[in-house]
Structures are given as C-alpha cells and as structure tokens.
Structure 1
Amino acid sequence: MPQTTAPEVWRLTAAETAAEIRAGRLSCAEATDAALARMEAVNPGLNAVVESLAEEARARARALDAAQAEGAPTGPLHGVPVTIKVNVDQTGHATTNGVAAYRDVIAPDDAPVVTNLLRAGAVPIGRTNTPEFSFRADTDNPLYGRTQNPWGAHISPGGSSGGAGAAVMAGIGALAHGNDIGGSLRFPAAANGAVTVKPGLGRVPAFNPSQKAERGMLAQAMSVQGLLARTATDLALAMPALIAADPRDPFHVPLPYAGDRLEPPLRVAFTKDCFGFPLHPEVSAALDAAAHALSAAGYEVEEVAPPAMPEAARVGYRALMGETKALLGEEFARHGSPAFQALFEEYFRQYPPYEGAELLDAMARRSAFAREWSRFQDRYPLALTPFLSRPFFAPDRDLEGEEGMIEALGSALWSFAMNFMGLPAGNVPARLADLPQGPQPIGVQIVGRRWREDLVVEAMTAIEAQIGPMAPHLWARMD
C-alpha cells in the first residue's frame, strides 16, 4: 500500500487507520492531526462535537507512537481517532447530558466504555452533542444548541447520539461512541447513513462514576453502550474490545464476542410489517435491497412475521415512560427547558405511563415477550425488519404536536421492542433515496439472537458488500 498522504487520512476507516499505523506507514500523531483538522473544517457548520479534546488527543497520540517505537504491543484500535458522547464519564470532563445545570458535573474517572476504548488504543478527539437528558430522537439543547445532519438541514441528525452520528459520517473520527435506551444509536445511524449495532443486555459494561444514584431497573435493562461507524467492518474490529469486562458493572455478560459457528445457511426472518403505519416506497426498496444482498451472500431469507409485535414495543415504551416519570419527573421539571417539558407532556399524552401495579405487570411481561423471541430465534437467528416506516424526519419533527410525535417516535416500534427484550439490533444503510427535499440514506434493521452481536455485524457486512457504504456519497456532496 502506498504512503498515506495527510489530506486523505481522515477518510480512512478505523480498520484502515489501525492497519496503516501497525505497518508504520502512518503515525498515531498524523492520524490524530488529520481528524482534528477535519473537525476544525466541518464542525462549525455541524455542531456535532461540543468539546474539543485536541490537546489531550495529541499528547496521547505521541505517547502511543513512542510506545510502539519501543516495541510495546498495540491494541486493535491503536491510534484510531474516536469521539465520546457527553452523557458518559471521561476523567476531568463534564458529563452534562445536554443539560445546563450539569455543566459542572466533572467526571472523577472514566466510564467502562471509555476505559475499554483507551485500552484498545483509541484516541478520543472530542465529546459529542446529545439532547437534554439524552431523551429525544433529535439533537438540540439550550446548553450547546442544535446539531446539523451533514446531509443537509432537511434531515434531523437523530438522537440521542445525534452528535456522534453526524461526527463520524462527516469524517470527525473513524468511530463514535453512543448509547441506546430506545433507539439512540439506531436513530442517528438511520439519519446520517452510519452503521451501528445496539448491543444486547449486559454485553458492554456500563457505569458512570459521577452518578449520585443507581438507574431504574428498566433503564438498567434497556440502556446499552455502543458505537457508530462508517462501515460494518469497523464494528467487527471494535466490538470485541468494547465488551471487555469491568467489575463496576456486576451484571456484565462475560461471553466472547463471537459465539459458536452456526451451520449455514443462516435463516433470516424478513418482514415489512409496520403495524398500520404506511410503508414508504423508498423504505420498501431498501428492505428489498437488503434481502437480496443477504440472499446473494448465502443467507436463507424467508418472509415471516416475528412474534410479540407490536405489543412488546408498546408495553415496553409505556413501561419505560412510567419508570422515567416516577424517577426522573422531578429532575426534568427542575432542570429541563420549557420545550423539553412540553415534549414530555406530549409523550405522556400519547403513551400513557404505566404506574403502580400496571407498571410491575408490564415489567413482568417483558420475560414473556423475550421468551417468544427466543423460541422464534431458535429457527431464525436473524431478522430483517424496517427501522422506521418512512425516510428520516426533519429537525424538530417530534415537537410538532401529535402528528409530529407519532411520525418521529410512534412509528419506531421495531426500535423500542428490541431494547425492551434486550436483543442486539443493528442499523445499516441499504439505499440512498433521491427525495424532493434532498438525498438521504435509508437504513434497515437487523435483529440478532441474544448475545450474538457478531451475527448482526456479519449480516450488515454482507449487505454493505453489495450496496456499499454511504460515506463516499456524503463526502462528494459535502465537497
């Protein structure tokens, strides 16, 4: 491979960056400088990164180069520039969660996901934006302002990891940390054309050393840490490091990333069912393209209706709203902006929170839904489903009353259900739609058997091999 020139370095994937550095054709310092230069060039128009870590990043890159020169072993992400979402702890930095009142909550230590990225050799270059309390499918807040989608102002960047999705697709770092309690990795992936896998319950250790109290049981069961990338190959490279154990998470699942090899062909349950929401022709075409790609790669794709849907999604979302209202309602009222409080009032109107015995019953029903899927996935280890029924919505769509709320969130039943049941679920772009308002990627969802993120990523890699990544199309537009 020829020497990589500086202007091209930010375009490299995480796998390419790590390979170039291991081969001695690129230094960690050069990779970091290229990512920081890209951030300086495009972030003013995006507001994806809300805190630059340039000084720390350059110092870390120099230290990694020195260690490599002395023969020290290198991790799988040695020298790879990454971003960290502002709702997890990073030593010495504010864990604001997009809330002005938390701007002085300084992390005393790194969260496990940050620790694992550092151990793998990654170089954090910036911290990315999130909506208030990380509780919207869009990314805007009074503390940092709005994040723009690099595809244009006609598309929301998604949320709550909207800063992460916009950053990685714009070339600000090869990987972006994010998290997901109802879709907060997959919404930004779908919006920006990134690739992600929402890990299953317990796969990536989680804890914020700055926290004052433990999270609610449903938050513990539904929220997971993960990554957004430009290629599925990069997820395959990074996920084994991300799932490394940490004693601060007592419920971490200590399984290897790759499970037992399943006899081919792997069966894929394929559905276009959107449960009464009209399926947009572009989403239908993306699903067909993904199904064709999987079939061409040797998967056995069969149209079949997965179980427990949409009940699992609706019960799960109303249960999460019930726990959120009980445990965070006062905090939202005290520190949330008027717009945020109005949004949650609309949430509660559209999806009445379960309370008392109803909430306990809903939490108990989670096992029944998960059991149905466990039986189903004994035959179909993977499922190809819609993510949203239509192309991604415009900024602030969720603030536009009942109609906007239903389009932005109410239709995301395939998203919520996977969090409630704790199943791994990925999002991969399968089509670039040419719409009147402008071009935008269309993502599809791949659901995997419990604790088999590797199967999800392999399937997304097969789709990507046929359809190609979205980043080159985006960069041609940005240039």
Structure 2
Amino acid sequence: MAHTDIWRLSATELTERTRAGDLSAEGAVQSALNRMDQVNPGLNAVVEDLRTEALERARALDQNRAKGAPTGPLHGVPVTIKINVDQKGHATTNGVIALQEAIAPDDAPVVTNLLNAGAVVIGRTNTPEFSFRADTDNPLHGRTHNPWGQHISPGGSSGGAGAAVMAGIGALGHGNDIGGSLRFPAAANGAVTVKPGLGRVAAWNPGQKAERGLLAQSMSVQGLITRSAADLHLSMPSLISADPRDPFHVPMPWRGQELESPIKVAFTKNTFGYALHPEVEKALDAARDALADAGYLVEEIDPPDVFECGRNGYRALMGEVLSLMKNDIEGAGSQTIRDIFDVYFQEFPPILGTELLQMMAKRSHYAREWSLFLQDFPLILSPFLPQPFFKPDRDTEGVEGVHEVLGCAVYSYAMNFLGLPAACVPARLAELPTGPQPINVQIAARRWREDMAVDAAAAIESRIGQMAPVLWDKMAAEP
C-alpha cells in the first residue's frame, strides 16, 4: 500500500502494522492529516486541527516503541474527539458561541482511555448547539456536510465524527448519544457504531459547572463511530476502562459469556403507523437474511412496546431539559436552536412535576419488560428510522420537519431510556432520486452485551459489505 493510502486502513489493520513496527505511528497520523487536508475543507467535519500535538505524540510513541516500551491496543491510531467533551487545553464549545473560551482543565475519561491505549487525537469534530439536534450546524463552526453528498444531513449530534470517519479522517471517531447521537450519524454516513448501555463507559467533563440532570446522566453515553464492526471490538475494551471520576461506571469485561447456538434474534418491521419506506424494508430483509446465513435463529416477533416506552422517555427528558436547560438555551442559543426547541416541546410535550417523578419510576417497568423479553431473544433486529435519512435542516421546518427527524425515531431513544446497548450498521446502499444513500438497521442487545450486538453487526457487514470503499470511489470520481 502506498504511503498516501494509509488513511484507508481500519484501526485493526493499522495496529497490526504499528505494533509490529511495519508502520510508524507518525506515518499513520501523517496520512490521516493529509486526508483531512484533502477532504475536510468541503466537509467541515473537523473544526479544530490538532496536527502539531498529534505529530509530536506520534513521534514520542515511535521513540518509546524503539526503546522497547510496550505498545497499547490502539498504538498510533488517529482518532477525533467531539467538541462537547473535555480535552485538556481545548475549548469544550458544544457548538455554542458563548462557550468558545471554555478551556478544559483536564481530559474526560474517554479521552484519557483512548490516550492510554495509544491513540493519537488529530482533531475535534463538530456538533450542533448544545448537542441537541440530529443534524450538525451551529453559528460558531458552521455546517458539517455528509461525504455522500449535500442531499443528506450528516446526522447529529456526532455529525462531525461520522462524516470524518467515513471520509477517511481518522480510523475512529468519538461521539456520544442521549437519544441517538451516535446512531444518527452512523445511519446518515453508512458507518458502524454501538450505543453502549448505561454504566458501560465512564463519563464526566472536568470543566462542567454543575452535575447533569438525572435523566441526562442515565440516558447519555459515550462511544465510537467506526467504518467496521471489527474496529469496535478492537477499541471498545479500551474505552470502557474504569475511571473513579464516574462513580456509577460498572467495571465489566467487554466480552460476556458465550451463549449456546443458535442465538435467537427477534425481528420486527413494526413502525407504529409511520410508513416503512421500501428501501428500509429491503435493508431489514437483507440484514435478516445475513444473520440467518451466519447461523442466528431469526424469528419475526415484536418486542415490548417501543413506541410507548420511547415517547414517554423522550417526553420525560424534555421535562428535565425544560426545567434545567431552558435558561441556557434562551440565553446562549441562536434563534434557530430556540425555535427547534419550541417545536421539540410540541412534538414531545414535557412531563413535569410529580408526573415526571412517576415516569422516572416507570422506567424500571419498561426495562423489566425488555429484560424478560431479552431472556428469550438476546438480540432484536429492527429499523433505526422508518425512512431513508433526511435532508440537511429538515428539523428547522416546523412540526413536520421535527416529526420526520425525531418524532418517528422511537427505536433510537427508547434504547437510551431503557439503558440498553444498540448497534447500528449499514445493510443497503439505496439509489434514490436525490443520489446514493446508505440505509442502516439497529440491533439491540441484552444489558451488558454490547459485544453480542457488535458480533451481529459484523455478521451483517461480512455478507453485505462495508460502505466506505464505495464512498471513497464516489468521492474520488467527483470533480
């Protein structure tokens, strides 16, 4: 492989070479930076370029290896960090102009864990204001574009991470997910991710002024967006390392006990009255067939009521947001984000007061129903969205826009309310009138079994193929 093509390598392929000494960490990082120079001006995925410190770190990793020091599992892998997470010496802007000088005093646990594993941070990626849109644009850093074309939103809130990874800017992209912010960008860009379950990845921003609300704490998780399922198996064991700054982190190994074969998968196309687009149905059928071919026992059966659980969970979250965040949004947000939140509150009428406490209590009821169902069906294959991914700024188009973007995404935020792991993997490349577009499906799993969700994603990927090579050919053919 030519030096100029090193950026194409997966994290798994990179570490095989960097740890063996066949490729320097500096070479891996420089190739990713060259790719960033080539494509980021048209994407605006990376909004803070960290090349100077990245190359210094890469050279230090090479020197330490030459001296016989042990190498980490992510030795020399170029990664990006989302701008809503603390990285020492850099602003945690969260896409908000008022936070552009909010310099982090220390690294968040996810940054610490990636660095301890030998990764190299090459840049920080874009997010919408307050990281609360499924699209990525803000007055501070501007719009991020999808590498498949400007007819598709890059997703959000980890839109910069998804666009960067799929365009070849780093092999791993850090992101987080309170209602779908890892999975929306994965679906938009044709990437692979797993939303970890509650307590799986240590989280905390050393620069934060107050603790987050209880629902934000229990629904939001940190994770990674990748081009291949194998890279999740490589990187997630490092990301889930313990950190005492998160007192509710659960220190468990990545791999759980192997289950007897065949593993049963519940398969559902239920979209609760929302129209299921033919291309999404084809993606679901392809994913079902791939899992069956891989030896899974797939049975068409609906899980417990996703619609009620998801809608109530997001309404409860909106109640917490209205109570704890509304002043910040009104005081520091743009008119665009204030208008979007007004429509959020229409789409998801906030649950407040005693009813909010009752719904937080009822969360255990929903989680118990799912726990019992997952005893029989350890995995659930479902749509992620009922239709292909939406266009940029769709959520600025009033009630109908927000309804298409978030209202119908019950399979997404239900998993956050339940605290369950859920992988998102492409299962089809649709040729739509607007242009080519990946279609992702979701695989939910038992609590603590992110590894099983990723195994299933790998089985689908191995039979359907990765989207990145197709995308890169498309990008290379464009003027």
Following TM superposition, the consecutive aligned residue runs of length 4 or more in structure 1 with deviations greater than 3 angstroms are none
How far off is 1:5 after superposition? 2.2
Cα distance in 2 for residues equivalent to 1:341 and 1:330: 11
Cα distance in 2 for residues equivalent to 1:347 and 1:338: 14
| Structure 2 match to 1:87 | 84
SS of residue matched to 2:325: helix
- Write out aligned runs for 1:33-432 (5 A): 33-432=30-429
Cα distance in 2 for residues equivalent to 1:328 and 1:442: 33
How far off is 1:351 after superposition? 1.1
Cα distance in 2 for residues equivalent to 1:350 and 1:147: 25
C-alpha contact (below 8 Å) 1:430/1:442 kept by paired residues: yes
Per-residue displacement from partner, 1:274-316 (whole Å, max 9, x unpaired)?
1110000000000000000000000000000100321100100
C-alpha contact (below 8 Å) 1:154/1:438 kept by paired residues: yes
The number of equivalent residue pairs is: 476
The amino acid across from 1:128 in the alignment is: T
SS of residue matched to 1:178: strand
Cα distance in 1 for residues equivalent to 2:27 and 2:306: 49
SS of residue matched to 2:470: helix
How far off is 1:17 after superposition? 0.6
SS of residue matched to 2:438: strand
Cα distance in 2 for residues equivalent to 1:254 and 1:59: 32
Cα distance in 1 for residues equivalent to 2:263 and 2:42: 44
How far off is 1:20 after superposition? 1.0
The amino acid across from 2:62 in the alignment is: D
SS of residue matched to 1:73: coil
Cα distance in 1 for residues equivalent to 2:368 and 2:251: 21
Q: Which runs of 5+ in 2 are unaligned?
A: none
Structure 1 length as normaliser, TM-score? 0.99
Cα distance in 2 for residues equivalent to 1:131 and 1:123: 24
Cα distance in 1 for residues equivalent to 2:8 and 2:254: 27
C-alpha contact (below 8 Å) 1:156/1:392 kept by paired residues: yes
C-alpha contact (below 8 Å) 1:308/1:372 kept by paired residues: no
Cα distance in 2 for residues equivalent to 1:458 and 1:70: 37
1:24 aligns with 2:33: no
Per-residue displacement from partner, 1:171-196 (whole Å, max 9, x unpaired)?
00000000000000000000000000
SS of residue matched to 2:249: coil
C-alpha contact (below 8 Å) 1:308/1:373 kept by paired residues: no
The amino acid across from 1:472 in the alignment is: P
Cα distance in 1 for residues equivalent to 2:77 and 2:384: 29
Structure 2 length as normaliser, TM-score? 0.99
Per-residue displacement from partner, 1:84-122 (whole Å, max 9, x unpaired)?
000000000000000000001100000000000001100
Cα distance in 1 for residues equivalent to 2:198 and 2:221: 7
How far off is 1:23 after superposition? 2.0
Cα distance in 2 for residues equivalent to 1:247 and 1:96: 25
Cα distance in 2 for residues equivalent to 1:22 and 1:146: 37
How far off is 1:256 after superposition? 0.7
SS of residue matched to 1:225: strand
C-alpha contact (below 8 Å) 1:200/1:422 kept by paired residues: yes
SS of residue matched to 2:175: strand
SS of residue matched to 1:183: coil
How far off is 1:228 after superposition? 0.1
Q: Could you tell which deviates more after superposition, 307-316 or 139-148?
A: 307-316
Q: Which runs of 5+ in 1 are unaligned?
A: none
C-alpha contact (below 8 Å) 1:181/1:219 kept by paired residues: yes
- Write out aligned runs for 1:445-460 (5 A): 445-460=442-457
Cα distance in 2 for residues equivalent to 1:468 and 1:24: 29
| Structure 1 match to 2:467 | 470
SS of residue matched to 1:179: strand
C-alpha contact (below 8 Å) 1:397/1:404 kept by paired residues: yes
Cα distance in 1 for residues equivalent to 2:348 and 2:25: 48
SS of residue matched to 1:432: strand
The amino acid across from 1:144 in the alignment is: H
Cα distance in 2 for residues equivalent to 1:177 and 1:154: 24
How far off is 1:59 after superposition? 0.2
C-alpha contact (below 8 Å) 1:428/1:443 kept by paired residues: yes
